[in-house]
A and B are shown apart, each in its own frame.
Chain A
């Protein structure tokens, strides 16, 4: 997929020199690498969970737990923190400082990149929702509640939710720093769709506090979990985001297709 780009003053868009030199639509290779990379990483993590959750993950106070799970937890927290700072720093440092001069081709290309970012974000949401949360549901039916750091909690709250934060913040910042419509204003549906799931992380504090002090059962649909529900419902905002993307890309495609 290739359309000849209009001439660009590349110096004004230094970070996008490569992508703007020739308009290629979406980079499917990047798109699929991102999806495949995240999926394979999660699959490997899942194998680890399958093997070590029940064998050495039942008792926080056993020395094996410290080796198999707490080291992993510390590693995850460190890696997530460094990655988040790195992503924010990179996206901000390489921001487009001259968004007024952006061409439709470049903006369209960036929309495709943004969709790739959003695919990474929603894929992590998918893994959290379908495989993460309900593995924790199954876990709690089987074991006696240990500390706040159980294998499935280490999986969800300290691996998947940080990944939601990293990809969500990345998606938001990508739009903020590279898309003209988003550079000076905040799109409400986007803020809701990304902000809600990110707030799941602080809600963990309420969840653990509640399970410790006032809710002793392991019913998964108990009101103590409805904070998670409310924040998950924020993903309804993605309907608005899709409409925005389609609507803006329609205008850009009209322009790109018309101009030679």
Chain B
């Protein structure tokens, strides 16, 4: 901190210096705020939609085998990558929550404007999943352990493990059986059948299909544990990539 005093002409007092510094530093925060918000929101939603989009778009893609695995693993890349920058240089354990909160907000924006207003689908068919608590878990783990390794092992594992229970209060009712024209369907299936998607026939859904070896019907717990494992790996890789890109490296030429 600057020293107080200093009455020499032309030299600013320490208080003046501190005030100027504070004002400018506040300006930097505010100016960068929009840049960070725009970039994070745009990048996350874009990457998610072209990587695992359909599981997030449609209620009849939210199955027990792939939906708790693919979207949650893909979504971790940006939070973990940016957490590396914000933790290593600022000791701010906010990146995961901030990224996911923005992502969720933008998904609502897109569900409403793109799928509901532009596409005409009911919101009950295109609602976004919840990921925010999973992000809070990682950020809190980072603060409590102050260890990247333990955060990956515990926080990122819980991120993958808990996505299904986190969303169950939203999803459960969509999986209640309905008798429809003599067939048994879920409400989610019925939405997919009734609300016409010309370009997305039933058969292209990448969802669980019957297999012989789901011992004891343990589909969801199995997927949850595997998802946790994958997310731990994704966390370490994305954290590493974040650190590499956060290096202040320069090239002489492009």
Contacts and interface: CB of A to CB of B under 8 A. Distances in A.
B199 A142 contact: yes
B61 to A, nearest CB: 9
Most buried by A among B10, B34, B46, B113: B46
A79 interface: no
Interface size range on A against B: 35 or more
Interface stretch (B25-33, B158-166, B180-188, B219-227): B25-33
Interface string A77-105: 00000000000000000000000000000
Contacts of A184: 252
B177 interface: no
Interface string B2-20: 1000000011100001101
A239 B113 contact: no
Interface residues of B, number: 76
A122 B200 contact: no
Contacts of B49: 129, 133-134, 137, 220-221
Interface string B71-90: 00000011001101110011
B24 A25 contact: yes
Interface in B91-122: 106, 109-110, 113-115, 117-121
A188 B245 CA distance: 8
B199 A134 contact: no
A250 B51 CA distance: 37
Contacts of A246: 28, 32, 89-90
Interface string A224-237: 01101100110111
Interface of A: 1, 3, 25-26, 31, 35, 46, 49-50, 53, 108, 112, 115-116, 118-119, 122-123, 125-131, 133-135, 137-145, 184-189, 191-193, 217-221, 225-226, 228-229, 232-233, 235-240, 242-247, 249-250, 253-254, 256-260
Interface of B: 2, 10-12, 17-18, 20-21, 23-25, 27-28, 31-32, 34-39, 41-47, 49-55, 57, 70, 77-78, 81-82, 84-86, 89-90, 106, 109-110, 113-115, 117-121, 197-200, 204, 206, 238, 241-242, 245-254
